């Protein structure tokens, strides 16, 4: 296995890489790109640790090559030799380039690039085994059979509560790829969105991925929903799987706010879930939808061990009793959240209830949901089998 493969680099730069890397360098001219030599070098276990694209390779072509390398050899880092500015750095990072090296780089700069490439390879190796080595990790899917039941409200508050319980522990992902509004619910203006996190370097490197996360003032990390339905639709279930796997290696709690119903993205998330928070509304269609979704997930064997049934917007005016709901669903409810004026105010201002810390029954109920997943929190006084806010 060669440590470094250079393409279109001058002899001096090749010599500096050879010195820093112990002579383990393969140097090719730009004509190798047309002949497919790069892809042959990337094939199999002998792929280089680093591909250096020299000044003779046009920048636009370098960025395209970086994307190809990410797909063919995720463990290989791409370095572009160019005079960098912040705008070029951003474009390079989005394309999958891991480093930008000045044409005048000295031996110390070259050695640093090699060290970073080795560190990234080790990080990816650790991340690939992190799922099995972190028994306490939780991947929490928040789902509902239909829209308009307060799913995002529950997801954002749950994530806020978990982040408060253990600082730096939690990331919230908006998996409603078409119409997700997690950013709005948290009053965030994200620079990057879901499609950015699954492409290029961020899609393969946990260190780069973390730079694409939006940070909420509470300490919660967020992968915001797409800016447009078309861009969100382009995100594949395979990309979602890779994103969840990487995040679960970096964070103790990964909370996934999904689209209503059972989309391919939701099913992919459930394959990795340790917990399912399934939310229904207190009306006949909502209760029947809850039962149908539970039945389907049971048939698909996608109900994780941690199952939490939530009924939102409960009240006495609809003519349904909680006993009737549980009988129809075929399972006891774990949490009942009543209607309350605090909820629409929170939604419209972008300030989650658990940030405000009120004493209303919805806030108390959400705190109890947090305690089911993080029993060390003061809000929950330990794990309990059944939590209720409001009365029958």
What's the pLDDT tens digit per position in 70-117? Answer: 667 777 888 999 987 877 887 787 777 888 999 888 899 999 888 888
Q: What is the pLDDT of residue 384?
A: 37
Residue 126: phi and psi, rounded to 5, are -65, -40
- The answer to whether the beta carbons of residues 331 and 311 sit under 8 Å apart is no
What's the pLDDT tens digit per position in 333-352? Answer: 999 988 888 888 888 888 99
| Angle separating helix axes 151-165 and 361-373, nearest 10 degrees | 60
Model confidence at 187, pLDDT cuts 50, 70, 90, reads very high
Tokens standing for residue 46: 């002998």
The residue whose two tokens read 């005048």 is 104
Model confidence at 308, pLDDT cuts 50, 70, 90, reads very high
Q: What is the pLDDT of residue 316?
A: 57
pLDDT at residue 137 is higher than 50 = yes
Residues facing 278 on adjacent strands: 143, 309
Tokens standing for residue 4: 């470094």
C-alpha span between 277 and 376 (Å, rounded): 19
Taking the model in full, what pTM does it have? 0.67
**Where is average pLDDT lowest: 264-268, 343-347, 368-372, 381-385?**
381-385
C-alpha span between 8 and 105 (Å, rounded): 16
The predicted model gives 286-314 an average pLDDT of: 91
Model confidence at 1, pLDDT cuts 50, 70, 90, reads very low
pLDDT at residue 257 is higher than 50 = yes
pLDDT at residue 327 is higher than 80 = yes
């Amino acid at each position: 296995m060669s440590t470094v493969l250079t393409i279109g680099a001058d002899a001096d730069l090749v010599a500096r890489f050879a010195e820093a890397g112990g002579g383990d360098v393969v140097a090719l001219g730009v004509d190798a790109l047309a002949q497919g030599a790069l892809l042959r070098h990337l094939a199999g276990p002998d792929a280089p640790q680093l591909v250096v694209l020299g000044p003779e390779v046009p920048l636009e072509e370098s960025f395209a090559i970086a994307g190809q390398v990410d797909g063919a050899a995720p463990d290989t880092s791409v370095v572009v030799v160019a005079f960098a500015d912040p705008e070029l750095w951003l474009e390079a990072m989005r394309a999958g380039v891991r480093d930008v090296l000045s044409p005048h780089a000295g031996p110390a700069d070259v050695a640093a690039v090699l060290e970073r490439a080795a560190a990234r390879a080790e990080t990816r190796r650790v991340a690939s085994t992190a799922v099995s080595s972190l028994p306490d990790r939780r991947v929490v899917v928040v789902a509902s059979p239909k829209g308009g039941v307060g799913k995002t409200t529950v997801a954002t508050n749950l994530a806020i509560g978990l982040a408060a319980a253990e600082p730096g522990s939690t990331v919230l992902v908006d998996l409603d790829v078409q119409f997700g509004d997690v950013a709005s619910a948290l009053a965030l203006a994200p620079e990057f969105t879901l499609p950015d996190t699954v492409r290029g370097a961020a899609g393969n490197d946990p260190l780069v991925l973390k730079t694409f996360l939006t940070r909420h003032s509470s300490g919660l990390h967020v992968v915001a929903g797409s800016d447009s339905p078309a861009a969100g639709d382009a995100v594949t279930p395979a990309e979602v799987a890779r994103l969840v796997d990487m995040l679960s290696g970096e964070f103790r709690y990964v909370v996934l706010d999904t689209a209503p119903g059972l989309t391919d993205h939701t099913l992919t998330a459930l394959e990795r879930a340790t917990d399912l928070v399934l939310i229904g509304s207190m009306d006949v269609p909502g209760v029947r939808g809850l039962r149908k979704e539970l039945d389907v997930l049971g048939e698909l064997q996608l109900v994780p061990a941690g199952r939490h049934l939530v009924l939102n917007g409960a009240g006495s005016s609809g003519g349904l009793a909680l006993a009737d709901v549980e009988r129809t669903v075929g399972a006891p409810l774990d949490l009942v959240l009543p209607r309350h004026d605090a909820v629409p105010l929170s939604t419209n201002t972008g300030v989650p209830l658990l940030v405000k810390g009120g004493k209303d029954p919805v806030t108390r109920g959400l705190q109890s949901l947090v305690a089911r997943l993080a029993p060390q929190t003061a809000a929950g006084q330990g794990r309990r089998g059944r939590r209720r806010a409001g009365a029958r």
